[in-house]
Chain A
Amino acid sequence: MTLAIDARGLVKRFEGKTAVNGVDLAVPEGMIYGVLGPNGAGKTTSLRMILGIIDPDEGTRTVLGNPRPLEVAHAIGYLPEERGLYQSMAVREMIAFMGALRGLPLDQGRRRADKLLTEYDLGDVGRKQIRTLSKGMAQTVQLLGTLVHDPKLIVLDEPFSGLDAINQGRLETLIRARRDAGATILFSTHVIAHAERLCSEISIIAGGKVRYAGSVDAARDRLPSRVVLRTRAKEGAWRADLPPDTTPVDGNWHFALPSTGIESVLQALITHGAGIENLTVERPGLHDAFIAIAGADAEAAMNMASAGDMA
């Protein structure tokens, strides 16, 4: 398995404040890889270091086998967090220019721009000026410009923010299609649902450090399943049969699936006549894993800032 990105021990300090504190990131080729983390976790800074936009204070990175990312710029596409286009440029010219930045001849870029726009049902905006587009459309145009030169490695910083639900879905489809065509995709997000649906592997960054790296499944498997129980009786001797971590939530009992299994608990409940109304065993979502891994503080901070983005 070759690595499209191999970053080790990246450290970045801004005026004494450590933004990234020893991040390792190994992204295998041909994979959709997510970087999750709350606001200010150091996602953008890590991506910038990987792409060579800034150099790290410490650590090394190899991108597509090259320690100097700019030398393989032609094979990389990057959508920055702060979107930016030349307002007075025509859409297809802008896309072609973004290709030219990555070594794609302009005329070829224009042709591909037309094709991409048509595929994205934006065929009619090709000759319009960027400033006449809506924000979401402009963002889509920038995305197409990021992909126009058919990069082998696609890096997207918060690609879903600012898009409506329909366009988020289309973006997911687009990302999968690029993966199927052989590209490697690395994207950052603080919306867990996207990572859960798209990624085979993720890294969870919080406080400038990688707290977890691996598959989404393994992240969930780190946590025991959750049991949600509803009983007819509210009190009784059976209460002692529930595991000590049990908490009442909205008239239900929540507790982690005991390592010994659910049967012994069930038996005790039946024997003591708790009257089981409803019982579900839920596999933990990435969301729970995220909270457990990144810490509740981080999650609180994130919810506050990203409530608007959750479509």
Chain B
Amino acid sequence: MMNLFTSALVIARRDYRATVMSRLFYVFMLFPLVLLIFGGIFGYVMASSKAEAPAYLAIIAEPDRAAQFEQSYAALHSKLSGENFEGVKIIAPLSNAAGQALAVLADTRQQVNAVLVDTGATPRLVGPSASVDRLRPGVLLALGNAGKEATPEMPLALTRTDPAGSGVASDRAGLGYGAAVFLFWLNMLLANMMLSNLVEEKSNKIMEVLIAALRVDAIFLGKLIAMVGTALTIVTAYVGLGTIGYLLFAPPELALPVPAIGWPLFIVLGYAYFIMNYMVVGGIFIGIGAQASSPREVQTISMPVTMAQMLVLLFASTAIKTHEGWQWWLGALFPPSSPLVMYNQAAISAKLWPHLLTLGWLMLCAALVIRFAAARFRKYVLKSGPAREKRRGLLRAQWTKRATTSR
């Protein structure tokens, strides 16, 4: 007997070739263009909503001094209205104020663009170059006022925190959100591919030939692999073109912030999350789609499926925005939204291990989803009875050597 993955690959290889060589594939190749336009509109809306999001200048100082500063900074703000001032966030100093400043900057939830550390003799402005340079004059003025004596020569030390060209935390959040949305749109595209593939299968009546030869979960897995492969072909083509275009033509202002985890890992994780996202969501679709008894029914199903996907995006966005608490955890753990939330996380946090854990979790979920879909298919579509030998599980099958009889 062929093992689960060999079986799945037989299906996957055929489906992949059939899809890539079909006319429909060119439609799918063009579909991302539509997505790009959508993405552009979405990005524009996002950018405008981002501009309204408050950003802060944090000050680490004893409460009195901090309050003074805040007052004069606000006064300055009213005098020079029209300038873009950050609000001031007061943070009580700990023993290591410099380290504290960096921590505050790294923490996206705080939405802090720069930190003024005013605990020693010389105040120090810490932050990425762009923010530091922009804020410096205002801070100097405010510091002078806060000291009651207008001393424009007041010294202000600067610490620029952009070693790897790393962007501001809020930029990273934007990148993370963009990445999550990108993943989501890809999935939409693929869900449709999946469903149209199922339509073909239904109208071909070929299922019985497959089911007589292979386990249902192997067939489902194979179909998923083929779809992911097709998608990766499209995505790689587009990402490749996009990267070249970006490197050649993008003006420097358009520079993307470097994700916290670094570009190479960010891209690898992108692929990994994409694959797992598709395995889980695709597994759910194939489970739903396979229940349908006619191509017509499959098409009827695709509508609520699209709506459900929208809900997942909404859910994931909420999780990403709240960024903490039970909503975030739920979003990070709930399999359909988990890849979106965690990919966002890769943009804003450098920790790798949560991703490994998540990928493991998603793999487990995908296996369970496929098993479950296959079992339901056998039970409700084939109306299979209960009297059967115990089978090996999907998870264990890959470790188990070939069964007693083999070719």
Interface residues of A (CB under 8 A from B): 11-14, 49, 51-60, 66-68, 70-74, 76, 78, 80, 82-89, 97-98, 100-103, 142
A157 to B212, CA, bound (A): 13
CB pair A55 B388 closer than 8 Å:
yes
A14 to B213, CA, bound (A): 23
A72 to B406, CA, bound (A): 8
A13 to B389, CA, bound (A): 19
Given A54-B382, A68-B389, verify A73-B214 contact (CB < 8 Å): yes
A97 to B18, CA, bound (A): 12
Q: In the complex, which residues of chain A have a beta carbon less than 8 angstroms from the beta carbon of B18?
A: 86, 88-89
Contact partner of B212 among A80, A85, A89, CB < 8 A? A80
- CB-CB nearest in chain B for A64: B405
Interface residues of B (CB under 8 A from A): 1-2, 10, 14, 18, 22, 200, 204-215, 378, 382-389, 391, 403-407
Q: In the complex, which residues of chain B have a beta carbon less than 8 angstroms from the beta carbon of A78?
A: 209, 212-213
How many contacting A-B pairs (Cβ < 8 A)?
100
Distance in angstroms from A5 CB to nearest chain B CB is 14
Given A73-B1, A85-B204, verify A103-B407 contact (CB < 8 Å): yes
A-B contacts, 9 of them at CB < 8 A, read A14-B383, A51-B212, A52-B212, A57-B386, A67-B389, A73-B1, A73-B213, A86-B14, A86-B200
Q: In the complex, which residues of chain A have a beta carbon less than 8 angstroms from the beta carbon of B213?
A: 70, 73, 78, 101-102
Most B C-beta atoms less than 10 A away, residue of A52, A53, A60, A102: A53
CB pair B2 A84 closer than 8 Å:
no
Q: In the complex, which residues of chain B have a beta carbon less than 8 angstroms from the beta carbon of A83?
A: 205
CB pair B208 A55 closer than 8 Å:
no
11 A-B pairs besides A53-B382, A86-B14, A101-B214 with CB distance below 8 A are: A59-B387, A68-B388, A68-B389, A73-B212, A76-B212, A82-B208, A84-B205, A84-B206, A88-B18, A103-B1, A103-B407
CB pair A74 B407 closer than 8 Å:
yes
Distance in angstroms from A240 CB to nearest chain B CB is 58
- CB-CB nearest in chain B for A14: B383
CB pair B206 A85 closer than 8 Å:
yes
CB pair A97 B208 closer than 8 Å:
no
A64 to B385, CA, bound (A): 21
- CB-CB nearest in chain A for B388: A55
Q: In the complex, which residues of chain B have a beta carbon less than 8 angstroms from the beta carbon of A53?
A: 208, 211-212, 382, 384
Distance in angstroms from A14 CB to nearest chain B CB is 6
Q: Which 6 A-B pairs have the closest CB atoms?
A: A84-B205, A57-B385, A55-B388, A84-B206, A101-B213, A54-B384
Given A88-B22, A89-B18, verify A56-B210 contact (CB < 8 Å): no
